[in-house]
A = this chain, B = another copy of it.
């Protein structure tokens, strides 16, 4: 258990270090508190023994440890209001009705990345609430046609389908069958329904059923897949903990690996903070993330920055966005 003074010191060190990225000495702290630098040093020693502070070398000032940051975000952090300009910028995005939800997310996280100089990730999936509304096809040439799928929530997806050697009539028959049988099905149940209900039926009516079934199966599995987008990646370069190119390389290669990035998915509904080793990304960063869910899409939004991160601000911004999109 920390004394009030120890908490004050820890808080000041975290805030100061976030601001200036230089180890914080006792002198700076004692100016803020009503005590001498020696007293502060004694307290600092205790805080270090508790594992909340670290030194970069024997005679350096103190730097918060991961445990120190953890204590800070759990007990000391104060959430401030967003300022008017930030809210205004975000509102123009939220009010643009022409944008789809995923665009809204990407654009608002662009703004956040701009404001904060951190990097954002949007992991987006079509919500299970989406029900198939309509399948239509447009032949492009004798080998290829385009399948267009629309859900009741307004999601539109399309994909080329290879149908070499299948007559257009056969295709139309199949589409009619599928439409009749699975319109109204939630998209995550389509694959199963396709296999157990549609496959047997089209087998009876359609000659090239094997080929067509596979083509549609591909189209549907493809369409219900996850989407990952990284925003403001260059902001990584702005932080001094990434002034050496090899660290940049490392983090960039992780931000590029879309399939690994899917692991960032957050199940929890709160805004969660993963400091350093608490996240799988890199021990050098903090990841702050939350869930979102609307009737149309669901997924995770995450902000990534150095551990020396403006925690209050990021939490606030994520909270604001989550509330806005979930309406």
CB 8 Å contact bits of A199-242 with B (1 = contact, 0 = none): 00000000000000000001000000000000000100100001
CB neighbours (8 Å) of A253 from chain B are: 234
Stretch at the interface among A28-36, A120-128, A156-164: A156-164
CB neighbours (8 Å) of A237 from chain B are: 245, 248-249, 252
A140 at the interface (CB under 8 A from B): yes
CB neighbours (8 Å) of A148 from chain B are: 148, 150, 156
Q: Among B100, B136, B152, B160, which residue has its beta carbon within 8 angstroms of that of A97?
A: B160
A249 to B237, CA, bound (A): 7
In the complex formed, the residue of B with least CB distance to A159 is B98
CB 8 Å contact bits of A118-144 with B (1 = contact, 0 = none): 000000000000000110101010011
B156 and A97 contact, CB distance less than 8 A: no
CB distance from A213 to the nearest CB of B (A): 15
A283 at the interface (CB under 8 A from B): no
A243 at the interface (CB under 8 A from B): yes
CB neighbours (8 Å) of A156 from chain B are: 138, 146, 148, 156, 158
CB distance from A232 to the nearest CB of B (A): 9
A154 at the interface (CB under 8 A from B): yes
A100 to B138, CA, bound (A): 14
CB neighbours (8 Å) of A144 from chain B are: 97, 154
A140 and B153 contact, CB distance less than 8 A: yes
Q: Among B133, B146, B234, B244, which residue has its beta carbon within 8 angstroms of that of A249?
A: B234
CB distance from A307 to the nearest CB of B (A): 19
Question: With A98-B218, A237-B252 in contact, is A140–B160 under 8 Å at CB?
Answer: no
In the complex formed, the residue of B with least CB distance to A249 is B237
CB distance from A257 to the nearest CB of B (A): 11
B160 and A99 contact, CB distance less than 8 A: yes
A256 at the interface (CB under 8 A from B): yes
CB distance from A104 to the nearest CB of B (A): 10
In the complex formed, the residue of B with least CB distance to A164 is B97
A150 and B143 contact, CB distance less than 8 A: no
Q: Among B150, B242, B256, which residue has its beta carbon within 8 angstroms of that of A234?
A: B256
CB neighbours (8 Å) of A143 from chain B are: 97
CB neighbours (8 Å) of A243 from chain B are: 245
B97 and A162 contact, CB distance less than 8 A: yes
Question: With A234-B256, A248-B245 in contact, is A146–B150 under 8 Å at CB?
Answer: yes
A253 to B145, CA, bound (A): 39
Greatest chain B CB density within 10 A among A99, A144, A152, A160 is at: A160
Chain A: residues with CB nearer than 8 A to chain B? 97-100, 133-134, 136, 138, 140, 143-146, 148, 150, 152-154, 156, 158-162, 164, 218, 234, 237, 242-245, 248-249, 252-253, 256
A146-B150, A237-B245, A242-B245 known; 15 other A-B pairs, CB under 8 Å? A97-B160, A97-B162, A98-B160, A133-B138, A140-B152, A146-B154, A154-B160, A234-B249, A234-B253, A234-B256, A237-B249, A237-B252, A243-B245, A245-B248, A248-B248
Of all A-B residue pairs in the complex, the 4 with the closest CB atoms, nearest first, are: A140-B154, A97-B162, A156-B158, A234-B252
